[in-house]
Structure 1
Amino acid sequence: MNTAAAFADFRSYPLISALTAAHPLADRIVVYWADGRISPYHHVWLRDNCPCPQCVYTVTREQVLEIVDVPEDLAPATLRIDDGGCLCIDWQDGHASRFDPGWLRAHAYDDETRAERQAGKPKSRLWDSSLSLPVFEFAALKEDPKALLQWLVALRDTGLTQVRGVPTEPGSLAEVARLISFIRPTNFGVLFNVQSKADADSNAYTAFNLPLHSDLPTRELQPGLQFLHCLVNDAEGGESIFVDGFAIADALRREDPAAFRALSEIPVEFRNKDRNSDYRCLAPVIALDSSGQVSEIRMANFLRGPFEASVEQMPVLYGAYRRFIAMTREARFRVMQRLNPGELWCFDNRRTLHARNAFDPATGTRHFQGCYIDRDELLSRILVLQR
């Protein structure tokens, strides 16, 4: 059963357990569930999250209430569980709130429920050279929302996917990318051509080896997703190489904690300069989220500026940086595969480092097209498809 009554959301929430009782305390209401769970909710939290039309605009489902407009000492005058199983509160100032039990349980913040919710969040699946590459067919992605969702979840959790059966006409990549969202333009354009050219403004537009890197670490927000679509690949060489930056960071944390700490604490400047632009960003190679988990890898040695650190930190930073790059070269982490016409890579640019072997342009044509989409767009598309 999914409950959908009296809450300001576009989603419905499963009725995990029914409300059995609610008791008032000085600053909170304690709710008892049929499965034995006990959840306290502070008065201020309940009033702040009232879903009624006075507090939430019903068209946009966005809050109009500001908590500063509610008395600090506001408390319930009466409370009850109605015939629909909802928690109903009549406040001392005359306002009334009604909370759906599915919504209330989904947002409970007792220790047990928070731990349960944390455990249920999507987890990155770390991989190494033994990766079973997630592969999808373009025709299925266009026609079947379930197939599209499977691809996006694989992209979110694994960070590296391949799509096959894509037309090889220039510009076809845009149709694939827009299955997720709009394309993020950069100084390289909306779609950029990856091919050797004499007046290259990036090492990507040459024929020589590109070491493992993330794209645009010079930006405050690196692009979340990168697409590379093969139109022609007749030249010898040019194999694609990938490593899971999260897996390397995880191994580094276990094998050399001091190096991990240095790369997650000491910022490094990356620079991308050409005749018409000059982008720079100072940030650690390894970014951590609020819970201490790795959330981003920022690395492109060919775009790195001189290190700036204290005299004491400089040798520590160099030691850690050398160790990280050395690990990206270890066979245990590397996946290498040649991309054929009509195939494309789609990967998490803030996680999966990519490289390219040198190729010989005298032996044939090599033409890829690429583009970027922000990671937020991927996560939003997944949630919409799931609901």
Structure 2
Amino acid sequence: MNTATAFADFRSYPLISALTAVQALADRVQVQWADGRSSPFHHQWLRDNCPCSHCVYSVTREQVLEIVDVAEDLAPASSRIDAQGCLSIDWQDGHLSRFDPGWLRAHAYDDESRAERRARRPQSQLWDSRLQLPVFEYQALMEDPQALLQWLLAVRDIGLTQVRGVPTEPGSLAQVAKRISFIRESNFGVLFNVQSKADADSNAYTAFNLPLHTDLPTRELQPGLQFLHCLVNDAEGGESIFVDGFAIADALRREDPEAFRALCEIPVEFRNKDRHSDYRCLAPVIALNAVGEVAEIRMANFLRGPFEASVDDMPRLYRAYRRFIAMTREPRFRLTRRLNPGELWCFDNRRTLHARNAFDPASGARHFQGCYIDRDELLSRILVLQR
């Protein structure tokens, strides 16, 4: 069995192992699998996840049932493996629930099943100056879903990629970005032009060097992906520099755990102000996810407000902040490349810090275009392509 119609989902779940036995216990049903695994399912969990058309709207595959509308002590009148190999539950109130074994195994929460799922979760591949840069061809990404998927997996897992062969007409970047999803607009526009100009509203629109940073740390949610597309690059200088913020955080955690804790615990305010806007966000430099893994780096010294911490924490914060920036300057972490016309960077802006060497605008024209897409859109696109 491997069909999407048997459960409340758009994905298909392969039959890893067949159900062989069911045991009714006081508050749960214990099932046995053909490979010897045993999985308990509490009564409330089973009733809550019933995929029938009364509990889930078949068009949207979204749940209609709210568990509070079911008796807290509801128990099965009977449970069995039916002729199709599904777990069937006849509830005491007359409701029938039927669970596809592929779906049930994929969502089992015994220790062994949960450990399997944790092991299969995507893992960030940390990198340093020795990174073999993942490079992809524009035409393949525009025409081949498998090539597109491989690119997006590299963006997800490595956080830095290059695409070559992109047309150099202004606006061409949008067609590449929309292969993932819609573009996130900011106060800099949908597509923004990175050029030196006299009335700059960001240091990015000057000719001097930009230190390593993430874009828009002043927002509650920093953009997930950033694209930079080279249209013209005749100026001397202006090389792109990247570091893997996750790799630096990992090294900091091992080499200086007290500094790592300070950057996770003490919030810093970032500010972005011009004549028409004033954005501010108070958040730590390093954010962890629900299981303690580094999930986000927030850093742009040129967009930082004065530190506001307790008297005891201020020296601790400065020591950690200085250490983090010093590590971004270490050659072991830095990857430096010059972007040529028809090439673009696509990188995880909440992970990969980027910088630019100063350039001489008198030596030639330099015109990049950029845009943002949220990380959620990348992850959604990957899942849809995979299914």
Q: TM-score range by the shorter chain?
A: over 0.9
Residue type of the partner of 1:123?
Q
Name the counterpart of 1:11: 11
**Following TM superposition, by how much is the alpha carbon of 1:14 offset from its aligned partner in structure 2, in angstroms?**
1.1
Q: String of CA shifts for 1:301-359, please: whole Å, max 9, x gaps.
A: 00000000000000000000000000000000000000000000000000000000000
Distance (Å, rounded) in 2 between the aligned partners of 1:358 and 1:142: 33
For 1:362 and 1:98, locate their aligned partners in 2 and report how far apart those are by CA, in whole Å: 72
Q: 2 CA distance for matches of 1:274 and 1:116?
A: 50
**Alignment map for 1:206-285 (pairs within 5 Å):** 206-285=206-285
Name the CA distance, whole Å, in 2 between partners of 1:337 and 1:371: 20
Partner of residue 160, structure 2: 160
Deviation string, structure 1 residues 67-116 (Cα, Å, up to 9, x no partner)? 01000010000111011110000000000000000000000000110011
Alpha-carbon distance in 2 for matches of 1:302, 1:143: 40
Task: Kindly state the Cα deviation for residue 3 of structure 1 after the two structures are TM-superposed.
Answer: 4.3
Alpha-carbon deviations, 1:363-387, whole Å to 9, x = none? 0000000000000000000000000
Q: Work out the CA distance in 1 between the residues paired with 2:219 and 2:4.
A: 41
TM-score, normalising length from structure 2?
A: 0.99
Number of equivalences = 387
Match of 1:130 in 2: 130
Specify every segment of 5 or more residues in structure 2 that has no aligned partner in the other structure, as ranges.
Answer: none
Letter in structure 1 aligned against 2:179: L
Instruction: Give the whole-Å Cα distance in 2 for the aligned partners of 1:282 and 1:18.
Output: 51
**1:7-55 Cα shifts (integer Å, max 9, x gaps):** 0100000111000001111110001000011000000000000000000
Q: Does 1:323 align with 2:323?
A: yes
Give a deviation string over 1:108-137, Cα, whole Å, max 9, x none: 000110011000000000000000000000
CA distance in 2, matches of 1:241, 1:83: 61
What is the identity, as a one-letter code, of the residue corresponding to 2:22? A
Please state how far the C-alpha of 1:280 moved relative to its aligned partner. Answer: 0.2
Amino acid at match of 2:12: S
1:159-198 equivalent positions in 2, closer than 5 A: 159-198=159-198
- What do residues 216-244 of structure 1 show as CA deviations (whole Å, max 9, x unaligned)? 00000000000000000000000000000
Give the distance between the partners of 2:119 and 2:280, measured in 1 at CA. 37
Report the AA paired with residue 221 of structure 1.
L
Q: CA deviation at 1:6?
A: 1.9
1:79 matched to which residue of 2? 79
Q: What's the counterpart of residue 58 of structure 1? A: 58
User: How far does residue 2 in structure 1 lie from its aligned partner after superposition?
Assistant: 2.9
CA contact (8 A) 1:5 1:100 kept: no
Give the TM-score of the pair, scaled to structure 1: 0.99
Mapped to 2, the partners of 1:81 and 1:185 lie a distance apart of 52
**DSSP-derived class of the 1:315 partner:** helix
User: What residue in structure 2 maps to residue 114 of structure 1?
Assistant: 114
2:103 aligns to what? 103
CA distance in structure 2 between the aligned counterparts of 1:120 and 1:126, rounded to whole angstroms: 17
Distance 2:231 2:4 in 1: 48
Give the deviation of 1:5 after TM superposition.
4.8
Answer yes or no: is the 8 Å Cα contact 1:196–1:207 preserved in 2: yes
Partner of 1:350: 350
Secondary structure of 1:190's counterpart equals: coil
What RMSD in Å do the two structures reach over aligned CA positions? 0.6
Instruction: Quote the Cα distance in structure 2 between the aligned partners of 1:208 and 1:22.
Output: 69
Secondary structure in structure 1 of the residue aligned to 2:384: helix
Identity of aligned residues (%): 85
